[in-house]
């Protein structure tokens, strides 16, 4: 039917004679699972599965370790701030003989709280002091 594909004349002749006679068939191919039984495919799947498994385990260990360490860090920082605040309150209680002076002076309470949190005594934003 198509003898000369290289020339324009051959294509025109083939196109004019076979346009109406040509039928198209669509076939559905099923997946051939026998090709997955070959050694290279098995090796690839084994290596890819191992890498995926190791990646997942590494992620889980890293996440657990980071969260555990971060929680310990936050707890230590809170304990240091709380200890500083209790020392300041104990000193104020011993000097004043009670809580009445601190309750009456809101600015003094704010200054003690800011000092215990490591914030500057002034209200300037952005400044922060390191805790001892």
Say if 131 falls within a structural domain: no
pLDDT digits (tens, 9 = 90+) for 66-109: 888 888 998 898 898 889 888 888 988 999 888 888 888 888 88
pLDDT of residue 4 exceeding 60, the answer is: no
Asked if residues 82 and 88 have their Cβ atoms less than 8 Å apart, the reply is: no
pLDDT of residue 132 exceeding 50, the answer is: no
CA distance 112 to 89: 8
Domain that holds residue 110: 8-117
Give the number of domains in the chain: 1
Angle CA 42–47–48, to nearest 5:
100
Say if 27 falls within a structural domain: yes
CA distance 87 to 91: 6
Say if 74 falls within a structural domain: yes
pLDDT of residue 44: 93
CA distance 113 to 51: 51
CA distances from 53 to 29, 56, 128 (A): 33, 5, 44
Asked if residues 112 and 92 have their Cβ atoms less than 8 Å apart, the reply is: yes
Say if 61 falls within a structural domain: yes
DSSP notation for 82-110: HHHHHHHHHHHHHHHSSSHHHHH-HHHHH
């Amino acid at each position: 039917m198509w003898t000369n594909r290289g020339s324009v004349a051959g294509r025109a002749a083939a196109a004019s004679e076979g346009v109406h006679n040509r039928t198209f068939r669509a076939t559905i191919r099923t997946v051939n699972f026998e090709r997955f039984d070959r050694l290279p495919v098995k090796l690839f799947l084994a290596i890819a599965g191992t890498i995926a498994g190791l990646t997942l385990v590494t992620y889980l260990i890293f996440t657990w370790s980071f969260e555990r360490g971060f929680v310990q860090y936050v707890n230590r920082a809170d304990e240091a701030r709380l200890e500083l605040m209790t020392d300041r309150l104990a000193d104020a209680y011993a000097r004043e003989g009670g809580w009445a002076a601190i309750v009456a002076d809101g600015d003094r309470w704010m200054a003690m709280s800011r000092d215990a949190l490591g914030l500057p005594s002034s209200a300037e934003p952005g400044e922060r002091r390191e805790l001892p």
